[in-house]
Every structure is written in C-alpha cells, then in structure tokens.
Chains A and B, each alone.
Chain A
C-alpha cells in the first residue's frame, strides 16, 4: 500500500509540471536578451563625425592571449585622415576561430575604440570566413557620420576629441567612464547607465 502511495506521490510531482510555466526558450524565433555585459562580437567604434577611434597602437593584439588579433598601423596625412591621431589601423583583423572572448583587448584599448557587442551568432562553414576584417568590424555610419577619410570636424587637435569623448562617447556608449563629479541622479540620467540598468532588470539581475 505504501509503495502505491509513494509512486502516486512521484507521479504527482511529474503531473504538477503540466501546470507550470514552460522554461524552454524559443530561440531562433525569439531571442532573449543576454546579460548586459555579455562578451560578444567586437565593434571598432567611430567618433561622432565618422572618424575611426582606432589609432593602430596594437595594444589589443599584444594583450590577446590567443593571438587572435592582427593590426597593421599606417600614418594619417592631412589629405587622407582616418582617425584624429597620428596613426590609424590600415589592416585590422580578428580571427574568431581563435578569439576566446575574454575581453582583455577591450581593457587594453586606450581610446575605447574596441568594444564588444552582445552579438553571438558567429558560426561559419569555413575558417576563412571566421577571420573578420576591418570592414566587417567597423561600426555602421550613423546619421551625422561621414565615411573617412575626411578632416577632423569635432576639434582642432586630437585632444579635443578625447576630452570631448567623456560627454560625447559616440559609438562606445556604455563603455565610457561616467564622470566622477556627477551625482548619482545625474549619472542615472545618462543614456549609458539607463540602458545598463534596464537591461540588467530585464535579465533579472540586482543592480
């Protein structure tokens, strides 16, 4: 008799799941947002006038533990300017067959040129396609941006660009350090913080 009751209890547990919410995610049709700081595909950011933030310093390549990044720098000239600094990256490649998405390159980047998106659908059927070139990694031209090469539009010197970036981060929204002089309420009002808090709430994270 006890055995029957016990097995009924067992089946009861199974049966009660009929009335519980389904946990399955319908992935290809509905994509659930990932954690706000999920390490996904890289972006090479632009300044708000369209110039590239990358100055071709190769620090990302040096920081990479898997040797997945290849950079070749070249000099900017007044006739042909790609970035506000002295140099720019003429070749920039990330090999996604090697990249382990650790984010050390992001930490190494001195100009916040390289940041990560939350994009993760990266499978390909050959290894050659997994090497992303500069054209693929560069951020899209948003309204108001102009395809380089073109002269500097945001200021006279590169310093203007970098100092201005605190208020006007361009593409690397969210990656910029918020000014410490701001109060908490001011900080919350900034777009980057708002996005992050909202995304964290959606994901069920306590902030």
Chain B
C-alpha cells in the first residue's frame, strides 16, 4: 500500500503492524446505515445501556468519509443497492462492512424480487450477524469478533505473504480469529475450555452445556444426571 512495502520485515514492522491494527480497532467509527428494524437495535447498542463508547465507537458518522465500518442494518432493496455501493465507495481505506441481521446477510425471510439476497452481492462483507433483529449484545459480539480479525490483519503485501507461508508451514490455528464468541474470548477459563472443545470439534455442544449450567445456577439447582432422569 505505502511505505511499509519498502521496509525490511522484522521486529520493527510487526510492532508497527500491531500498533496500526490496535489503533484501527480502538477507534472504529461506524457509518450510520440503518435501513430497517435492525437500526433500532443498532441505536440501542450506541445508547447508555450497551454503550458502544466502551469500544471507542460511540460516534456514528453521518458522513462516510469519516467512517471505517459500515453496519448495514436491515433489508437492502434493489433500489437501495446502488446507494449502498456509493456510500461504501466514499469511505476511505481501510474499511470494513458488517452485515447486521438476516435480511442483510442473505435476504432472510424476504426471498423475493424486491430485496437483494445478501448484501455481499454488492459490497465485500467482513462479518455476518444473524438474528431478526439481533439483540445489542449480538451486535457488540460481532463488532468484537471483527476487532479480533483486525488485530490479525497483515500490514502490506510482503507481510501477508510471510503470514501465508507460516500458515502453510505450521497449519491453520484451531480457532481462527473471529470464530470464538466474545463472552468466551474475554474469560480466561472459558476461553481455555473453548479451545479444548474446538480441538475436539464439539464447541457447539460446549455452548449448550454451559447454557444448561447457567440455567441450573440461576435456579439454584445442579444439572441433573442422566439427562434429566429422576
């Protein structure tokens, strides 16, 4: 992209990469692109109770020229598609797109001629967030996953090739960046459990197990043995 292509690779560059990625994720300004009911949840995420300001993104920019992230919140009609593309084109690099809700992700229940069947037909999407509409926690989770992905983004082509070579040599990680749910990633013990489960390919079962344990804890009972046999 710029000067980083000319520099020799080494410790200096990886530190710069970390710093650049950190600053990118720590002030991740979203463009307002609320199209339907998902926008209400997006507004709720910005408000006091969920407070996106905790992650440095309380400023929803009205102008795409100052935004890094486009949250496509809601169904995109065929008529809106060129507008969406124009907004995306007006955003400065580097930029990311979060497709919020099932309508933006794939058309959702609107499988008809008026709705674009997934916003990735128009712009490249970095994170798909299901839900109809997703609750604010889900949006925050998606954003935090995107943060993790950004932290692993290579700075420049040279570094990208280097990382790809390393990946070929050592194999892909068990859990790719952005795959772990945020409530697991931010808790040391649960993170370890998730990593262990992912290695065995039963991370989804772990989630159900944890959910059942949570329920039992709330009720003040312990989970029953034998799947509920009395």
Residues of A near any B CB (own CB < 8 A): 23-29, 31, 33-34, 41, 43, 46-48, 50, 65-67, 95-102, 117-127, 129-130, 132, 135-145, 167-171, 173, 191, 194-195, 197-199, 202
Separation of A141 and B145 alpha carbons in the complex (Å): 29
Q: Please, how many residues of chain B have a CB less than 8 angstroms from a CB on the other chain?
A: 63
Complex CA–CA separation, A127 to B50 (angstroms): 27
Partner of B127, one of A66, A123, A132, A145: A123
Contacts of B137 in A (CB 8 A): 25, 27, 31, 120-121
B141 / chain A contacts, CB cutoff of 8 Å: 27-28, 120-121, 123
CB of A130 within 8 A of CB of B105, answer: yes
**Most chain B beta carbons < 10 A, residue from A43, A121, A143:** A121
**Minimum distance in angstroms from A171 CB to a CB of chain B:** 6
Q: Which residues of B contact A27 (CB under 8 A)?
A: 50, 137, 140-141, 182-183
Q: Residues 140-155 of chain B: 1 if any A CB is under 8 Å from the residue's CB, otherwise 0?
A: 1110110001000000
Question: Inside 8 A of B105's CB, which chain A residues have their CB?
Answer: 97, 127, 130
- What 1/0 mask marks residues of chain B from 202 to 230 whose CB sits below 8 Å from any chain A CB? 10111111010011101111011111111
Residues of B within 8 A of A123 (CB): 127-130, 138, 141-142, 145
List 16 A-B residue pairs with CB atoms under 8 Å apart, sorted by A's residue number: A24-B51, A28-B140, A28-B186, A50-B227, A97-B105, A101-B131, A118-B215, A123-B141, A124-B179, A125-B145, A125-B178, A127-B105, A130-B105, A132-B204, A139-B208, A191-B228
Kindly specify which of B22-30, B106-114, B161-169 makes contact with the partner chain. B106-114
The residues of A that contact B118 with a CB separation of less than 8 Å are 97, 127
**Could you tell me the distance in whole angstroms from the C-beta of A83 to the nearest C-beta in chain B?**
15
Q: Is the CB of A66 within 8 A of B49?
A: no
Q: Are A199 and B219 in contact (CB under 8 A)?
A: yes
